[in-house]
Amino acid sequence: MAKFLVEKSSSLHGEIEVSGSKNAVLPIMAASILTDEKCQIMDAPVLRDVDVMCRLLESIGSQVKVNYEEGTVEIETSSIIAKEAPYELVKKMRASILVMGPLLSRTGQAKIALPGGCAIGARPINLHLKGFQALGADITEGHGYVEAKADKLVGANVYLDFPSVGATENIMMAAVMADGITVIENVAEEPEIVDLANFLNKMGARIKGAGTDTIKIEGVEALNGTKHAVIPDRIETGTFMVAAAITRGDILIKNVVPDHVKPIIAKLKECGVVIEDSDEGLRVHGDINELISTDIKTLPYPGFPTDMQSQFMAFLTTVSGPSVVIETVFENRYMHIGELNRMGANIKIEGRSAIIQGNQKLQGAQVISTDLRAGAALVLSGLVAEGTTEISEIYHIERGYTNFIGKFRALGARINRIEE
Protein backbone atom coordinates (compact mmCIF):
# COMPACT_ATOMS: atom_id res chain seq x y z
CA MET A 1 0.00 0.00 0.00
CA ALA A 2 1.29 3.46 -0.89
CA LYS A 3 1.38 6.34 1.56
CA PHE A 4 2.22 10.03 1.62
CA LEU A 5 4.74 11.35 4.12
CA VAL A 6 4.20 15.07 4.64
CA GLU A 7 6.60 17.17 6.70
CA LYS A 8 6.12 20.68 7.97
CA SER A 9 7.06 22.97 5.10
CA SER A 10 7.89 26.61 4.78
CA SER A 11 5.42 28.93 3.07
CA LEU A 12 4.63 27.67 -0.42
CA HIS A 13 5.82 29.95 -3.23
CA GLY A 14 5.90 29.72 -6.99
CA GLU A 15 3.47 28.91 -9.75
CA ILE A 16 1.48 25.90 -10.94
CA GLU A 17 -0.79 25.20 -13.88
CA VAL A 18 -4.18 23.65 -13.25
CA SER A 19 -5.02 20.48 -15.17
CA GLY A 20 -8.24 19.66 -17.00
CA SER A 21 -11.30 19.03 -14.86
CA LYS A 22 -11.91 15.49 -13.59
CA ASN A 23 -15.62 16.15 -13.20
CA ALA A 24 -15.86 17.53 -16.75
CA VAL A 25 -13.77 14.99 -18.66
CA LEU A 26 -15.58 11.87 -17.40
CA PRO A 27 -19.08 12.74 -18.71
CA ILE A 28 -17.54 14.03 -21.94
CA MET A 29 -15.76 10.72 -22.42
CA ALA A 30 -19.04 8.91 -21.79
CA ALA A 31 -20.83 11.17 -24.29
CA SER A 32 -18.39 10.18 -27.03
CA ILE A 33 -20.19 6.85 -27.45
CA LEU A 34 -23.25 8.72 -28.77
CA THR A 35 -21.56 8.77 -32.20
CA ASP A 36 -19.81 6.21 -34.37
CA GLU A 37 -17.26 8.85 -35.38
CA LYS A 38 -13.99 9.78 -33.65
CA CYS A 39 -13.98 12.27 -30.77
CA GLN A 40 -10.77 13.94 -29.63
CA ILE A 41 -10.70 15.27 -26.09
CA MET A 42 -7.89 17.69 -25.26
CA ASP A 43 -6.50 18.89 -21.91
CA ALA A 44 -7.49 15.56 -20.36
CA PRO A 45 -6.06 15.10 -16.84
CA VAL A 46 -3.78 12.20 -15.95
CA LEU A 47 -5.95 10.41 -13.40
CA ARG A 48 -6.91 6.94 -12.23
CA ASP A 49 -10.56 7.78 -12.87
CA VAL A 50 -9.76 8.62 -16.49
CA ASP A 51 -7.99 5.26 -16.83
CA VAL A 52 -11.04 3.48 -15.40
CA MET A 53 -13.35 5.28 -17.82
CA CYS A 54 -11.06 4.33 -20.74
CA ARG A 55 -11.26 0.66 -19.74
CA LEU A 56 -15.01 0.91 -19.28
CA LEU A 57 -15.48 2.35 -22.76
CA GLU A 58 -13.21 -0.31 -24.25
CA SER A 59 -15.33 -3.00 -22.58
CA ILE A 60 -18.40 -1.87 -24.53
CA GLY A 61 -16.55 -1.67 -27.86
CA SER A 62 -14.85 1.74 -28.04
CA GLN A 63 -11.38 2.14 -29.53
CA VAL A 64 -9.49 4.38 -27.12
CA LYS A 65 -6.10 6.03 -27.63
CA VAL A 66 -4.55 8.02 -24.80
CA ASN A 67 -1.57 10.36 -25.05
CA TYR A 68 -1.08 11.84 -21.62
CA GLU A 69 2.04 13.78 -22.68
CA GLU A 70 -0.13 15.75 -25.08
CA GLY A 71 -3.18 15.53 -22.83
CA THR A 72 -5.40 13.92 -25.46
CA VAL A 73 -7.88 11.05 -25.42
CA GLU A 74 -9.29 9.79 -28.73
CA ILE A 75 -12.44 7.68 -28.62
CA GLU A 76 -14.11 6.00 -31.57
CA THR A 77 -17.13 3.77 -31.04
CA SER A 78 -17.96 2.51 -34.53
CA SER A 79 -19.95 -0.34 -33.00
CA ILE A 80 -21.10 -1.27 -29.52
CA ILE A 81 -20.39 -4.87 -28.56
CA ALA A 82 -21.82 -4.78 -25.03
CA LYS A 83 -24.65 -2.85 -23.41
CA GLU A 84 -23.56 -3.66 -19.88
CA ALA A 85 -20.79 -2.03 -17.86
CA PRO A 86 -18.77 -4.67 -15.94
CA TYR A 87 -18.96 -4.56 -12.16
CA GLU A 88 -15.19 -4.77 -11.63
CA LEU A 89 -14.87 -1.34 -13.27
CA VAL A 90 -18.11 0.25 -12.08
CA LYS A 91 -17.30 -0.48 -8.42
CA LYS A 92 -14.15 1.64 -8.68
CA MET A 93 -15.82 4.84 -9.81
CA ARG A 94 -19.26 6.33 -9.35
CA ALA A 95 -19.01 8.26 -12.63
CA SER A 96 -19.41 4.90 -14.40
CA ILE A 97 -23.17 5.48 -14.19
CA LEU A 98 -22.71 8.20 -16.83
CA VAL A 99 -22.44 5.63 -19.64
CA MET A 100 -26.04 4.65 -19.02
CA GLY A 101 -27.65 7.66 -20.73
CA PRO A 102 -25.50 7.45 -23.88
CA LEU A 103 -25.93 3.66 -24.16
CA LEU A 104 -29.69 3.97 -23.78
CA SER A 105 -29.80 6.76 -26.36
CA ARG A 106 -27.72 4.95 -28.96
CA THR A 107 -28.79 1.32 -28.51
CA GLY A 108 -32.10 1.43 -26.64
CA GLN A 109 -30.67 -0.58 -23.76
CA ALA A 110 -28.26 -0.06 -20.86
CA LYS A 111 -27.46 -2.22 -17.86
CA ILE A 112 -25.10 -1.22 -15.10
CA ALA A 113 -24.07 -2.36 -11.65
CA LEU A 114 -24.78 0.08 -8.87
CA PRO A 115 -21.69 2.33 -8.81
CA GLY A 116 -18.93 2.79 -6.26
CA GLY A 117 -16.61 5.76 -5.54
CA CYS A 118 -15.93 7.79 -2.41
CA ALA A 119 -18.09 6.91 0.61
CA ILE A 120 -19.21 10.48 1.31
CA GLY A 121 -22.90 9.72 1.69
CA ALA A 122 -25.94 8.35 -0.04
CA ARG A 123 -26.00 9.29 -3.72
CA PRO A 124 -28.98 7.38 -5.07
CA ILE A 125 -29.51 7.18 -8.81
CA ASN A 126 -33.30 7.48 -8.60
CA LEU A 127 -33.21 10.88 -10.33
CA HIS A 128 -31.31 9.40 -13.27
CA LEU A 129 -33.91 6.64 -13.58
CA LYS A 130 -36.80 9.08 -13.19
CA GLY A 131 -35.47 11.01 -16.17
CA PHE A 132 -35.04 7.87 -18.29
CA GLN A 133 -38.58 6.79 -17.46
CA ALA A 134 -39.96 10.19 -18.45
CA LEU A 135 -38.26 9.74 -21.84
CA GLY A 136 -40.04 6.41 -22.29
CA ALA A 137 -37.62 3.83 -20.90
CA ASP A 138 -38.69 0.78 -18.89
CA ILE A 139 -36.59 0.36 -15.75
CA THR A 140 -35.73 -2.98 -14.15
CA GLU A 141 -33.87 -3.12 -10.84
CA GLY A 142 -32.23 -6.32 -9.67
CA HIS A 143 -29.77 -7.36 -7.00
CA GLY A 144 -26.95 -4.83 -7.41
CA TYR A 145 -27.83 -3.68 -10.92
CA VAL A 146 -30.29 -1.54 -12.86
CA GLU A 147 -31.38 -1.85 -16.50
CA ALA A 148 -33.16 0.56 -18.84
CA LYS A 149 -34.77 -0.35 -22.16
CA ALA A 150 -36.65 1.66 -24.77
CA ASP A 151 -37.69 1.02 -28.35
CA LYS A 152 -37.47 4.77 -28.90
CA LEU A 153 -36.89 7.64 -26.48
CA VAL A 154 -39.34 10.51 -26.74
CA GLY A 155 -38.87 14.07 -25.54
CA ALA A 156 -40.58 14.96 -22.26
CA ASN A 157 -40.70 17.41 -19.38
CA VAL A 158 -38.51 16.34 -16.46
CA TYR A 159 -38.33 18.02 -13.05
CA LEU A 160 -35.44 17.07 -10.77
CA ASP A 161 -36.26 17.00 -7.05
CA PHE A 162 -32.65 18.02 -6.40
CA PRO A 163 -30.19 19.68 -8.84
CA SER A 164 -28.05 16.55 -9.18
CA VAL A 165 -25.02 16.97 -11.43
CA GLY A 166 -24.91 13.32 -12.49
CA ALA A 167 -28.64 13.10 -13.18
CA THR A 168 -28.55 16.32 -15.20
CA GLU A 169 -25.69 14.97 -17.31
CA ASN A 170 -27.18 11.52 -17.81
CA ILE A 171 -30.63 12.79 -18.81
CA MET A 172 -29.07 15.35 -21.18
CA MET A 173 -27.13 12.60 -22.95
CA ALA A 174 -30.18 10.34 -23.13
CA ALA A 175 -32.32 13.12 -24.58
CA VAL A 176 -30.08 14.44 -27.37
CA MET A 177 -31.39 11.94 -29.93
CA ALA A 178 -34.90 11.50 -28.53
CA ASP A 179 -37.90 12.37 -30.70
CA GLY A 180 -39.13 15.89 -30.03
CA ILE A 181 -38.22 18.35 -27.29
CA THR A 182 -37.06 17.62 -23.74
CA VAL A 183 -37.20 20.25 -21.00
CA ILE A 184 -35.31 19.49 -17.77
CA GLU A 185 -36.06 21.79 -14.83
CA ASN A 186 -34.26 22.37 -11.53
CA VAL A 187 -31.05 21.11 -13.10
CA ALA A 188 -27.50 21.48 -11.83
CA GLU A 189 -25.78 24.67 -13.03
CA GLU A 190 -22.14 23.65 -12.55
CA PRO A 191 -19.50 24.66 -15.13
CA GLU A 192 -19.04 20.97 -15.90
CA ILE A 193 -22.67 20.85 -17.12
CA VAL A 194 -21.94 23.75 -19.49
CA ASP A 195 -18.79 22.02 -20.74
CA LEU A 196 -20.70 18.82 -21.50
CA ALA A 197 -23.42 20.78 -23.30
CA ASN A 198 -20.78 22.59 -25.37
CA PHE A 199 -19.22 19.25 -26.31
CA LEU A 200 -22.59 17.77 -27.29
CA ASN A 201 -23.50 20.85 -29.32
CA LYS A 202 -20.22 20.51 -31.22
CA MET A 203 -21.36 16.97 -32.01
CA GLY A 204 -24.55 18.36 -33.52
CA ALA A 205 -26.87 18.34 -30.51
CA ARG A 206 -29.31 21.20 -29.93
CA ILE A 207 -29.07 22.13 -26.27
CA LYS A 208 -29.96 25.49 -24.75
CA GLY A 209 -29.93 26.74 -21.17
CA ALA A 210 -26.92 24.89 -19.75
CA GLY A 211 -25.68 26.90 -16.78
CA THR A 212 -29.23 27.94 -15.81
CA ASP A 213 -31.87 26.00 -13.90
CA THR A 214 -33.69 24.87 -17.05
CA ILE A 215 -32.23 23.02 -20.05
CA LYS A 216 -34.10 22.61 -23.33
CA ILE A 217 -33.03 19.90 -25.79
CA GLU A 218 -34.32 19.44 -29.31
CA GLY A 219 -33.64 15.87 -30.37
CA VAL A 220 -31.58 15.16 -33.51
CA GLU A 221 -31.28 12.00 -35.59
CA ALA A 222 -27.52 11.48 -35.22
CA LEU A 223 -24.37 13.05 -33.80
CA ASN A 224 -20.92 13.50 -35.34
CA GLY A 225 -17.40 13.34 -34.00
CA THR A 226 -15.64 16.48 -32.78
CA LYS A 227 -12.66 17.98 -30.94
CA HIS A 228 -13.03 19.61 -27.55
CA ALA A 229 -10.75 21.03 -24.84
CA VAL A 230 -11.83 20.31 -21.26
CA ILE A 231 -12.23 23.23 -18.83
CA PRO A 232 -9.70 23.67 -15.99
CA ASP A 233 -10.40 21.83 -12.75
CA ARG A 234 -11.98 24.34 -10.35
CA ILE A 235 -11.49 22.05 -7.34
CA GLU A 236 -7.78 21.70 -8.05
CA THR A 237 -7.70 25.49 -8.39
CA GLY A 238 -9.41 25.87 -5.03
CA THR A 239 -7.12 23.35 -3.37
CA PHE A 240 -4.00 25.30 -4.36
CA MET A 241 -5.66 28.58 -3.35
CA VAL A 242 -6.15 27.11 0.12
CA ALA A 243 -2.58 25.76 0.04
CA ALA A 244 -1.33 29.33 -0.34
CA ALA A 245 -3.56 30.46 2.51
CA ILE A 246 -2.85 27.68 5.01
CA THR A 247 0.95 27.91 4.56
CA ARG A 248 0.85 31.74 4.48
CA GLY A 249 2.42 31.50 1.05
CA ASP A 250 2.31 33.22 -2.33
CA ILE A 251 1.20 31.11 -5.32
CA LEU A 252 0.39 32.06 -8.91
CA ILE A 253 -2.22 29.63 -10.24
CA LYS A 254 -2.40 29.45 -14.03
CA ASN A 255 -5.08 28.07 -16.37
CA VAL A 256 -7.94 29.30 -14.21
CA VAL A 257 -11.49 30.47 -14.92
CA PRO A 258 -12.05 32.94 -12.03
CA ASP A 259 -15.84 32.85 -12.40
CA HIS A 260 -15.77 29.13 -11.58
CA VAL A 261 -14.19 29.73 -8.16
CA LYS A 262 -16.05 32.89 -7.10
CA PRO A 263 -17.32 31.50 -3.76
CA ILE A 264 -13.82 30.27 -2.83
CA ILE A 265 -12.33 33.66 -3.69
CA ALA A 266 -15.01 35.42 -1.62
CA LYS A 267 -14.48 33.27 1.47
CA LEU A 268 -10.69 33.49 1.35
CA LYS A 269 -10.94 37.25 1.07
CA GLU A 270 -13.21 37.30 4.14
CA CYS A 271 -10.37 35.56 5.98
CA GLY A 272 -7.86 38.23 4.90
CA VAL A 273 -6.26 36.42 1.97
CA VAL A 274 -5.25 38.76 -0.86
CA ILE A 275 -6.13 37.51 -4.36
CA GLU A 276 -5.06 39.20 -7.58
CA ASP A 277 -6.69 38.35 -10.92
CA SER A 278 -4.48 38.99 -13.94
CA ASP A 279 -3.94 37.70 -17.46
CA GLU A 280 -1.40 35.23 -16.01
CA GLY A 281 -3.91 33.70 -13.59
CA LEU A 282 -4.86 34.04 -9.93
CA ARG A 283 -2.14 35.07 -7.50
CA VAL A 284 -3.00 34.12 -3.95
CA HIS A 285 -1.22 35.82 -1.03
CA GLY A 286 -1.61 34.26 2.39
CA ASP A 287 1.40 36.17 3.68
CA ILE A 288 0.16 39.77 3.77
CA ASN A 289 -2.57 40.01 6.43
CA GLU A 290 -3.31 38.26 9.69
CA LEU A 291 -5.87 35.63 8.74
CA ILE A 292 -9.15 35.34 10.61
CA SER A 293 -12.10 32.96 10.71
CA THR A 294 -15.28 32.88 8.65
CA ASP A 295 -18.28 30.58 8.27
CA ILE A 296 -19.13 28.51 5.18
CA LYS A 297 -22.19 26.61 4.02
CA THR A 298 -21.95 24.20 1.11
CA LEU A 299 -24.58 24.53 -1.62
CA PRO A 300 -25.06 23.49 -5.22
CA TYR A 301 -23.31 25.76 -7.72
CA PRO A 302 -22.95 28.73 -7.65
CA GLY A 303 -22.76 28.24 -3.89
CA PHE A 304 -19.68 27.12 -1.97
CA PRO A 305 -18.68 23.71 -3.39
CA THR A 306 -18.97 20.65 -1.18
CA ASP A 307 -15.77 19.40 -2.85
CA MET A 308 -13.86 22.26 -1.15
CA GLN A 309 -15.41 21.88 2.30
CA SER A 310 -12.75 19.63 3.85
CA GLN A 311 -9.79 21.62 2.47
CA PHE A 312 -11.28 24.89 3.71
CA MET A 313 -11.99 23.34 7.10
CA ALA A 314 -8.33 22.34 7.41
CA PHE A 315 -7.39 25.96 6.74
CA LEU A 316 -9.90 27.29 9.30
CA THR A 317 -8.22 25.26 12.06
CA THR A 318 -5.14 27.48 11.64
CA VAL A 319 -6.70 30.98 11.74
CA SER A 320 -7.81 33.15 14.66
CA GLY A 321 -11.34 32.76 15.95
CA PRO A 322 -14.11 30.15 15.83
CA SER A 323 -15.80 29.05 12.59
CA VAL A 324 -18.91 27.14 11.62
CA VAL A 325 -19.07 24.87 8.57
CA ILE A 326 -22.48 23.60 7.44
CA GLU A 327 -22.59 20.71 4.98
CA THR A 328 -25.90 20.54 3.09
CA VAL A 329 -25.02 18.40 0.07
CA PHE A 330 -23.66 15.09 1.47
CA GLU A 331 -24.66 13.82 4.91
CA ASN A 332 -21.46 11.82 5.46
CA ARG A 333 -18.82 14.32 4.44
CA TYR A 334 -17.34 14.90 7.88
CA MET A 335 -15.24 11.73 8.09
CA HIS A 336 -12.07 13.83 7.86
CA ILE A 337 -12.89 15.59 11.15
CA GLY A 338 -11.73 12.67 13.27
CA GLU A 339 -8.46 12.59 11.33
CA LEU A 340 -7.93 16.36 11.67
CA ASN A 341 -8.62 16.11 15.41
CA ARG A 342 -5.95 13.41 15.63
CA MET A 343 -3.57 16.08 14.38
CA GLY A 344 -4.57 18.52 17.11
CA ALA A 345 -7.55 20.29 15.55
CA ASN A 346 -10.51 21.15 17.78
CA ILE A 347 -13.64 20.41 15.76
CA LYS A 348 -17.01 19.27 17.10
CA ILE A 349 -19.95 18.02 15.05
CA GLU A 350 -23.49 19.17 15.82
CA GLY A 351 -25.88 17.68 13.27
CA ARG A 352 -24.84 19.01 9.87
CA SER A 353 -22.67 21.72 11.44
CA ALA A 354 -19.01 21.53 12.40
CA ILE A 355 -17.79 23.95 15.07
CA ILE A 356 -14.11 24.78 14.65
CA GLN A 357 -11.90 26.43 17.25
CA GLY A 358 -9.17 28.12 15.27
CA ASN A 359 -5.52 28.93 15.86
CA GLN A 360 -4.62 25.33 16.75
CA LYS A 361 -1.07 24.01 16.73
CA LEU A 362 -1.27 20.92 14.57
CA GLN A 363 0.95 17.90 15.09
CA GLY A 364 1.94 15.23 12.60
CA ALA A 365 0.13 11.91 13.01
CA GLN A 366 -0.85 8.72 11.24
CA VAL A 367 -4.11 9.47 9.45
CA ILE A 368 -6.35 7.92 6.79
CA SER A 369 -7.58 9.53 3.59
CA THR A 370 -11.26 8.63 3.89
CA ASP A 371 -12.16 10.15 0.51
CA LEU A 372 -10.65 12.21 -2.31
CA ARG A 373 -11.08 15.72 -0.89
CA ALA A 374 -10.52 14.61 2.71
CA GLY A 375 -7.12 13.32 1.59
CA ALA A 376 -6.25 16.70 0.12
CA ALA A 377 -7.26 18.35 3.40
CA LEU A 378 -4.93 16.08 5.36
CA VAL A 379 -2.03 16.94 3.05
CA LEU A 380 -2.71 20.65 3.55
CA SER A 381 -2.76 20.17 7.34
CA GLY A 382 0.43 18.12 7.18
CA LEU A 383 2.23 21.01 5.49
CA VAL A 384 1.77 23.17 8.62
CA ALA A 385 1.84 20.47 11.33
CA GLU A 386 4.91 19.89 13.49
CA GLY A 387 6.74 16.70 12.59
CA THR A 388 5.65 14.16 9.99
CA THR A 389 2.15 13.27 8.87
CA GLU A 390 1.68 9.79 7.43
CA ILE A 391 -1.38 9.53 5.17
CA SER A 392 -2.66 6.13 4.05
CA GLU A 393 -5.37 5.14 1.55
CA ILE A 394 -3.95 7.72 -0.87
CA TYR A 395 -5.51 6.05 -3.90
CA HIS A 396 -8.47 8.32 -3.16
CA ILE A 397 -6.28 11.39 -3.71
CA GLU A 398 -4.70 9.99 -6.85
CA ARG A 399 -8.16 9.44 -8.34
CA GLY A 400 -8.70 13.18 -8.61
CA TYR A 401 -5.48 15.21 -8.77
CA THR A 402 -2.99 15.20 -11.65
CA ASN A 403 0.71 15.12 -10.67
CA PHE A 404 -0.29 15.88 -7.08
CA ILE A 405 3.14 15.41 -5.51
CA GLY A 406 5.03 17.07 -8.36
CA LYS A 407 2.97 20.24 -8.23
CA PHE A 408 3.26 20.56 -4.45
CA ARG A 409 7.00 19.90 -4.52
CA ALA A 410 7.45 22.58 -7.17
CA LEU A 411 6.03 25.05 -4.64
CA GLY A 412 8.41 23.93 -1.90
CA ALA A 413 6.28 21.32 -0.12
CA ARG A 414 8.07 18.50 1.67
CA ILE A 415 6.02 15.51 0.60
CA ASN A 416 6.99 12.01 -0.51
CA ARG A 417 5.17 8.94 -1.75
CA ILE A 418 6.32 5.63 -0.32
CA GLU A 419 5.38 2.02 -1.08
CA GLU A 420 5.04 -0.47 1.74
**CA dihedral sign of residues 91, 300, 357, 404:** positive
- Catalytic one among 39, 54, 118, 271? 118
Q: Which amino acid is at 287?
A: D
Distance CA 67, CA 270 (A): 41
Contact 313, 336 (CB under 8 A): yes
Note if 118 is an active site residue.
yes
Q: Which amino acid, residue 363?
A: Q
Q: Which residues are catalytic?
A: 118
